[in-house]
């Protein structure tokens, strides 16, 4: 015996959506069967049951209620799964045999549009990537909820693709056969993306061709089409809100690779991977969700064109100078909702009455915002005001239609105002007057029967009824009352008069709800015509929001407007780290100066750990990013070159996912800078070489500095503990030594966090360990070992100063001084010498060298004790 017809239908549909959970509609539930049921029960923590399916064995089954399915879908989507929604597409009452069912939508991590599944202040991108030719990739990404689509060529390497993926909030990526297994593995494991195959299609739909109008590079067309067809295939409908593809020329923006974005904590902190502690956290004083998303985009792509940067700065200056007018704009923006995503919901057909009420309230603020901008004494802000469009026709339509307090559901009525439609008004009149008549009838029956407790009620099973308690049954007029239902303590009756009114009222209510739904759908379709205008309005409002945010933050934190040089000069007076300064709150951040130009473009920074070397390096980079997105900067004065790229090697971390050690990550990040930096780039290298042995590390660090100095000429900050490198300023004329000042007071180190010229004279490593709370006896032991190291170093230094013909005498003198007093000593001395000869000093790390030296010392003390 085979499966039942319904299970056969399920299996047929499931075969087309093997990579998705199939939510199969059965009445008021979505059911899942077989492996879907087993896995869904585990992931959703719901009960797994079994169902008779026509064969001898029972099949696994689980289900979720239709009315709460969104919550369960959200859990699966957040875990990277896809969900295919299979609905009943014919009325079960009229169906012959199994009810017809079809998949009406596939919800995937990259195609989510439902508000509850989205982060309000972040985009949610679906991407597509393909290899066009050697080291040239086509890349496109779109946000279904806002309608934005972007495309670009990515040159150089696969690493550049990964950086682009890392720098965007991408949840899912569509790939093709041109990618290698290792590249696909990077996307799945390193980037933690849901990887999908492209949708099959024979011809690209003509009604979507207009979306490709801006794509002039013919080889980018296939990747854009691949992305759009995947959207069409999963969502099963056309989209009115999708904007034309914007082709991004990456060379028009500063390049921040994945390492730099992570190390500089532009949008997320490294420790917690959250907004708190990032540059975005400091700068984000936006009011609207669409403004917050735009700020994040701007921080991810700082500008390179000076005129564009200056235009933003001029607007920020205008907002900065007029506090009260800026506050009025902020107050108006508080009543503006997320127009971008409202457009998406209108287009998608899932907008409700409350969404349209938000749209109406938002549009009511636009004239006030436009007038508020025109008040400013700033030409750039006046130009901004001209771009703000008022949409009176749409506002009038919404004000005449949407009720002041509509329900969430669009199937319950009360969505539209009285007076919007004549037929609807008539039904409502009957319904409302009918209810008034019911109240009047109840009062009349009380008076006629003398039953004060008599009441008229309603339920969906029996309709309207007259309820009388048992104590009053003897007062019932049996000639008019017909018993309908018996209760424990009462009886329910109907009368002919009540039945007539009931039919009239219920018919009016039913027709009222049905007509109102039809009118609302028609209204929604009419609003679709305004989507392009609404999207333009959303774009300018989000821009205003970001720029006022820059001004607000700049005033609160005492930032200054930067100037830009054309000769490569970068000079900061009393520069500060924007994030640390805010975290410190009441404490005073110690500012420092920075001076770089085309002649002196490399700073070698020495100083103890925790003194502020990395902070100094990061604050320069963050200041440059802030300036090139159009914000004021944390300094007393600022003159900056415009940088095309920022490369960083700051901090040490293993890349465990790809199996790379700290040192390998360090070398990869350094190599990325060396291969791609130009003379207009900024390179920050923090303690390069510390992941390997001392001499290896020192050799690499010097070679890297020389390569940057001779070959690249990029502005470079290089911090190190290798004090031997400080002599390079005699050979590298573009290099200058600076150090972070620290002092020893009563045996304890005091960090002054002040940058001074010249090299540091001491590292204070043991003092830092003491501050970290290491045991006191360990600190004391370390000081003894340090003294011994320094003594040995002096002895070796003195020895090296002797003439070459004296060195052999020094060795023989040492052997004569240790005169053996017993026969065992020469043997042990030979073992000590053999051990010393066997050591490969050049390959040791400092810690290994210390351990070996300690072992040798113990053996030497043993020999001395026997002598």
Q: Is the Cβ–Cβ distance between 253 and 163 less than 8 Å?
A: no
Q: Same structural domain for residues 220 and 315?
A: no
Q: Determine the pLDDT at residue 769.
A: 67
Beta sheet of 748-757, edge-to-edge order: 255-256, 645-649, 682-686, 715-719, 602-606, 735-745, 748-757
Q: Same structural domain for residues 496 and 534?
A: no
Q: Is the Cβ–Cβ distance between 620 and 601 less than 8 Å?
A: no
Q: Is the Cβ–Cβ distance between 207 and 238 less than 8 Å?
A: yes
Strand-pair partners of 744: 749
Q: Same structural domain for residues 323 and 435?
A: no
Residues 367-372 have a mean pLDDT of: 97
Residues 6 or more apart whose CB falls under 8 angstroms from that of 149 comprise: 140, 141, 142, 211, 224, 227, 228, 242, 243, 244, 245, 246
Residues 6 or more apart whose CB falls under 8 angstroms from that of 459 comprise: 465
**Residue 290 covered by a domain:** no
> How many CB atoms lie under 10 A from the CB of residue 247?
17
Q: Same structural domain for residues 653 and 757?
A: yes
Q: Which domain holds residue 354?
A: 305-391+530-557
**Residue 299 covered by a domain:** no
Q: For residue 505, is pLDDT > 90? A: no
Coil, strand or helix at 112 = coil
Burial of 79 (0-12, 13-18, 19+ CB in 10 A): exposed
Q: Look at 119-123, 754-758, 770-774 and tell me which has the smallest mean pLDDT.
A: 770-774
Q: What is the DSSP string of 468-535?
A: EEGGGGGG--TTT-EEEEE-SSEEEEE-HHHHHHHHHHHHHHHHHHHHHHHHHHHHHHHHHTTHHHHH
Confidence of residue 17 (pLDDT cuts 50, 70, 90): very high
Phi, psi of 458 (to 5 degrees): -150, 140
**Residue 577 covered by a domain:** yes
**Residue 283 covered by a domain:** no
Q: Are strands 715-719 and 682-686 parallel, antiparallel or unpaired?
A: parallel
The CATH number of the domain holding residue 23 is 3.40.1170.10
Residues 6 or more apart whose CB falls under 8 angstroms from that of 834 comprise: none
CA–CA separation, 30 and 62 (whole Å): 9
Q: Look at 283-297, 411-425, 654-668 and tell me which has the smallest mean pLDDT.
A: 654-668
> Would you state the structure tokens that stand for residue 192, as one six-digit string?
């933690």
> Would you state the structure tokens that stand for residue 671, as one six-digit string?
């190599």
Residues 6 or more apart whose CB falls under 8 angstroms from that of 524 comprise: 346, 349, 351, 356
How many residues are recorded in the chain? 867
Q: Same structural domain for residues 723 and 577?
A: yes
The CATH number of the domain holding residue 160 is 3.30.420.110
pLDDT, tens digit, 9 for 90 and up, residues 222-279:
999 999 999 999 998 878 899 999 999 999 999 998 889 999 999 999 888 899 999 9
> How many CB atoms lie under 10 A from the CB of residue 469?
14
- Count of the separate structural domains present in the chain: 6
Q: Same structural domain for residues 439 and 519?
A: yes
Q: Same structural domain for residues 100 and 135?
A: no
Q: For residue 861, is pLDDT > 80? A: no
Strand-pair partners of 151: 140, 247
> How many CB atoms lie under 10 A from the CB of residue 783?
14
CA–CA separation, 153 and 137 (whole Å): 6
Residues 778-785 have a mean pLDDT of: 74
**Residue 77 covered by a domain:** yes
Beta sheet of 490-494, edge-to-edge order: 455-459, 463-469, 490-494, 482-486
Q: Same structural domain for residues 435 and 501?
A: yes
CA–CA separation, 853 and 847 (whole Å): 10
pLDDT, tens digit, 9 for 90 and up, residues 663-713:
777 787 888 899 999 999 999 999 887 766 677 888 888 999 999 999 999
Listed in sequence order, the DSSP H helices in 209-257 are 221-235
Q: Same structural domain for residues 764 and 836?
A: no
Domain stop point among 107, 135, 163: 107
CA–CA separation, 621 and 592 (whole Å): 14
The CATH number of the domain holding residue 571 is 3.40.50.300
Q: Which residue has the tokens 């002039």?
A: 216
Q: Same structural domain for residues 647 and 745?
A: yes
Q: Determine the pLDDT at residue 640.
A: 98
Write the DSSP symbol of residue 567: S
Q: Same structural domain for residues 548 and 508?
A: no
Instruction: Please report which helix (H) or strand (E) contains residue 142, including its range.
Output: strand 136-143
Q: Is the Cβ–Cβ distance between 248 and 223 less than 8 Å?
A: no
**Residue 811 covered by a domain:** no
Q: Is the Cβ–Cβ distance between 115 and 341 less than 8 Å?
A: yes
**Binding residue ranges for ATP:** 607-614
Residues 6 or more apart whose CB falls under 8 angstroms from that of 452 comprise: 446
Q: Is the Cβ–Cβ distance between 126 and 110 less than 8 Å?
A: yes
Phi, psi of 181 (to 5 degrees): -60, -40
Write the DSSP symbol of residue 724: G
Q: Is the Cβ–Cβ distance between 251 and 305 less than 8 Å?
A: no
**Residue 415 covered by a domain:** no
Using N-to-C axis directions, what is the helix angle for 392-401 and 353-374, rounded to 10°? 140
pLDDT, tens digit, 9 for 90 and up, residues 453-504:
999 999 878 889 999 999 999 999 989 999 999 998 999 999 998 998 888 8
The CATH number of the domain holding residue 473 is 1.10.1420.10
Confidence of residue 820 (pLDDT cuts 50, 70, 90): very low
Phi, psi of 146 (to 5 degrees): -115, -15
Q: Determine the pLDDT at residue 133.
A: 87
**Residue 417 covered by a domain:** no
> Would you state the structure tokens that stand for residue 203, as one six-digit string?
């011809």
Q: For residue 817, is pLDDT > 80? A: no
**Binding residue ranges:** 607-614
Q: Determine the pLDDT at residue 526.
A: 96
Q: Same structural domain for residues 645 and 579?
A: yes
Residues 580-609 have a mean pLDDT of: 90
pLDDT, tens digit, 9 for 90 and up, residues 823-838:
445 666 666 676 776 6
């Amino acid at each position: 015996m085979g499966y039942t017809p319904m299970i056969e239908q399920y299996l047929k549909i499931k075969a087309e959506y093997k990579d998705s959970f199939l939510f199969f509609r059965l009445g008021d539930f979505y059911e899942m069967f077989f492996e879907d049921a087993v896995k869904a029960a585990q992931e959703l923590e719901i009960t797994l049951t079994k169902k008779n399916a026509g064969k001898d064995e029972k099949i696994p089954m689980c289900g979720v209620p239709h009315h709460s399915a969104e919550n369960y879908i959200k859990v699966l989507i957040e875990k990277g799964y896809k969900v295919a929604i299979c609905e009943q597409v014919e009325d079960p009452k009229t169906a012959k045999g199994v009810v017809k069912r079809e998949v009406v939508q596939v919800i995937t991590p990259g195609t989510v549009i439902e508000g509850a599944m989205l982060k309000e202040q972040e985009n949610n991108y679906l991407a597509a990537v393909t290899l066009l030719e050697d080291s040239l990739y086509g890349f496109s990404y779109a946000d279904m909820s806002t309608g934005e689509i972007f495309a670009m060529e990515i040159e150089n390497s696969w690493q550049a693709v990964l950086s682009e993926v890392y720098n965007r909030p991408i949840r899912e990526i569509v790939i093709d056969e041109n990618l290698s297994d290792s590249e696909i593995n990077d996307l799945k494991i390193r980037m933690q993306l849901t990887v999908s195959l492209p949708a099959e299609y024979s011809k690209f739909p003509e009604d979507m061709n207009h979306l490709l109008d801006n794509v002039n590079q013919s080889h980018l067309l296939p990747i854009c089409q691949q992305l759009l067809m995947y959207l069409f295939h999963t969502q099963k409908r056309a989209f009115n809100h999708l904007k034309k593809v914007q082709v991004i020329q990456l060379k028009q923006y500063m390049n921040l690779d994945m390492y730099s974005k992570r190390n500089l904590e532009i949008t997320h902190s490294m420790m917690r991977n959250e907004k708190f502690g990032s540059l975005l956290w400091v700068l984000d004083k936006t009011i609207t969700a669409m403004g917050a998303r735009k700020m994040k985009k701007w921080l991810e792509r700082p500008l390179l064109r000076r005129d564009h940067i200056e235009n933003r700065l001029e607007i920020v200056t205008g907002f900065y100078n007029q506090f009260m007018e800026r506050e009025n704009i902020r107050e108006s923006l508080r009543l503006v909702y997320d127009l971008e995503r409202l457009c998406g919901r209108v287009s998608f057909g899932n907008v409700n009455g409350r969404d349209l009420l938000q749209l109406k309230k938002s549009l009511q603020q636009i004239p006030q915002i436009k007038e508020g901008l025109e008040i400013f004494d700033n030409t750039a802000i006046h130009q901004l005001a001209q771009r703000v469009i008022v949409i009176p026709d749409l506002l009038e339509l919404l004000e005449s239609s949407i009720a002041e307090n509509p329900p969430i559901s669009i199937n319950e009525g009360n969505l539209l105002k009285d007076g919007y439609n004549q037929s609807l008004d008539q039904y409502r009149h009957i319904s409302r007057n009918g209810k008034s008549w019911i109240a009047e009838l109840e009062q009349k029956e009380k008076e006629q029967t003398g039953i004060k407790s008599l009441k008229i009620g309603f339920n969906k099973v029996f309709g309207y009824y007259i309820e009388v308690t048992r104590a009053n049954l003897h007062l019932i007029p049996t000639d008019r009352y017909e018993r309908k239902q018996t209760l424990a303590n009462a009886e329910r009756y109907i009368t002919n008069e009540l039945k007539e009114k009931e039919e009239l009222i219920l018919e009016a209510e039913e027709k009222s709800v049905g007509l109102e739904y039809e009118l609302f759908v028609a209204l929604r379709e009419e609003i679709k015509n305004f989507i392009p205008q609404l999207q333009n309005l959303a774009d300018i409002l989000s821009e205003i929001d970001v720029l006022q945010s820059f001004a607000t933050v700049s005033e609160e934190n005492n930032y200054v407007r930067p100037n830009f040089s054309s000769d490569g000069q970068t000079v900061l007076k009393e520069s500060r780290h924007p994030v640390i300064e805010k975290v410190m709150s009441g404490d005073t951040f110690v500012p420092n100066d920075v001076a770089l130009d085309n002649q002196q473009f490399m700073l070698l920074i020495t100083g103890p750990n925790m003194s502020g070397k990395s902070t100094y390096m990061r604050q320069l980079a963050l200041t440059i990013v802030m300036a090139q997105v159009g914000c004021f900067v944390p300094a007393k004065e600022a003159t900056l070159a415009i940088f095309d790229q920022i490369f960083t090697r700051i901090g040490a971390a293993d890349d465990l996912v790809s199996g790379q050690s700290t040192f390998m990550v360090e070398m990869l990040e350094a190599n990325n800078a060396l291969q791609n930096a130009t003379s207009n780039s900024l390179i920050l290298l923090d303690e390069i070489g510390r992941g390997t042995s001392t001499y290896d590390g020192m050799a690499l660090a010097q070679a890297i500095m020389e390569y940057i100095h001779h070959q690249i000429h990029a502005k470079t900050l290089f911090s190190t503990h290798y004090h031997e490198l400080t002599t390079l300023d005699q050979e590298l004329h573009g290099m200058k030594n600076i150090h972070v000042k620290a002092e020893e007071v009563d045996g304890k180190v005091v960090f002054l966090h002040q940058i001074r010229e010249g090299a540091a004279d001491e590292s204070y490593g043991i003092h830092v360990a003491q501050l970290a709370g290491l045991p006191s006896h360990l600190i004391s032991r370390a000081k003894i070992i340090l003294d011994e190291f320094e003594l040995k170093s002096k002895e070796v230094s003195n020895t090296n100063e002797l003439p070459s013909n004296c060195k052999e005498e020094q060795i023989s003198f040492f052997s004569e001084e240790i005169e053996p007093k017993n026969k065992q000593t020469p043997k042990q001395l030979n073992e000590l010498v053999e051990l010393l000869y066997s050591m490969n000093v050049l390959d040791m790390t400092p810690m290994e060298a210390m351990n070996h030296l300690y072992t040798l010392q113990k053996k030497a003390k043993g020999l001395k004790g026997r002598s």
